[in-house]
Amino acid sequence: MTFLWPGFLYLLALVPVTVGFYVWILHRRRPYAVRYSSLSLVRNALPPHSGIRRHLPFALFTVALAGLLIALARPVTVVAVPTAQATIILAIDVSRSMCSTDIAPTRLQAAESAATTFIRHQSAHTQIGIVAFAGFAELIQPPTTDADALQAAIESLLTGRRTGIGNAILKSLDSIAEVDKAVAPSVVDPSDEPPPVAKGAYAPDIIVVLTDGASNTGTSPLDAAQQAADRGVRVYTIGFGTPNGSETASCQTSDPSGIGGFGGFGGGFGGGGLFRRGIDELTLKNVASLTGGAYYPASSAAELQHVFQNLPTYLIIKHETSEVSAFFTAAAAILAVAAIALSLLWHPLL
């Protein structure tokens, strides 16, 4: 349970102050000395449970006061609600290193095959979008349930230079925001950042980032992950590649400079050079942990297929925050009425 106005919890200090004042009042009363010939007469004259009757009304009043003070802080709880529609953004690394042949036929083609199989096995109500990223990120297929359109977008991937994982996460967030109005788009100025969702309140949308390298341009992956976490969007990361790498195959790129678009146009660009497995696993794990997702390593096509099959897409549910101030207010009111009633019953004014 969290609180929308946690500052009001400081008022709970009034509870021990009230108890202290009550004890002080009891001790301040002057004792009266009366002589009796026998103490047994005094015991018989006292009503049963006189101590409980004396202090129980005040105890109930004190608990009622605490309940009202908690209600002022506006407590909220997170409730899981089934949803009929979810959005998944597949952010696929298309940097030049994805042309490596250490995973046959190439890392990129193995990734395309695994992503296509994943798409074909999703629910008809699940919307999937495709983001391709290298030095920058581009939405090449907005979220849709059309598996053929998604497959065509994946098969049209071209490569570029550098790797911007943070850019990919922000572009994926913006793509989700287009279809889920409860998710705010990304911001450049931190002062424009919307209030974060309650801890544990997740949107019915996830981002899956597949990369074979380390981020070396654009927004920091952890800064982008923080924006995702503030919106309740989980990010699942996949580190793909073998430890040794290999010579690259001939690979299509958007243009010889590697800074053009990623989808369906441009000429071929043959490249040599050794691309080793330079995955920044620590960052990928931190990105996943920060957002409530998970990190998966994959060093073969079969392992990548297994990772995609085990992504927790079947658990995607909507988490909503529900304010429970009324519960605390009602409980406090009942206790206060009970305290007054018992006080009048046991200690009548007349």
Q: For the whole model, what pTM was predicted?
A: 0.68
207 close to 235: Cβ distance less than 8 angstroms: yes
Q: Which residues in the chain come in under a pLDDT of 50? A: 254-260, 264-276
Q: How far apart are CA 228 and CA 209, in angstroms?
A: 13
Query: Residue 169 has what DSSP assignment?
Result: H
Query: How many CB atoms within 10 Å of residue 283?
Result: 21
Separation in Å, CA 92 to CA 11, 159, 238, 304: 51, 11, 10, 13
Strands 86-93 and 268-269: unpaired
C-alpha angle 207-140-248 in degrees, rounded to nearest 5: 85
pLDDT of residue 271: 42
- Note the residue count of the chain: 350
pLDDT of residue 83: 59
* Sequence-separated (6 or more) residues with CB below 8 Å from residue 200: 78, 292, 319
3 state SS of 89: strand
pLDDT of residue 290: 96
Residue whose tokens read 């790498």: 245
pLDDT of residue 275: 44
If you compute the radius of gyration of the chain from its CA atoms, what whole number of angstroms results? 32
pLDDT of residue 173: 97
pLDDT of residue 243: 76
Orientation angle between helical segments 147-155 and 107-120, nearest 10 degrees:
180
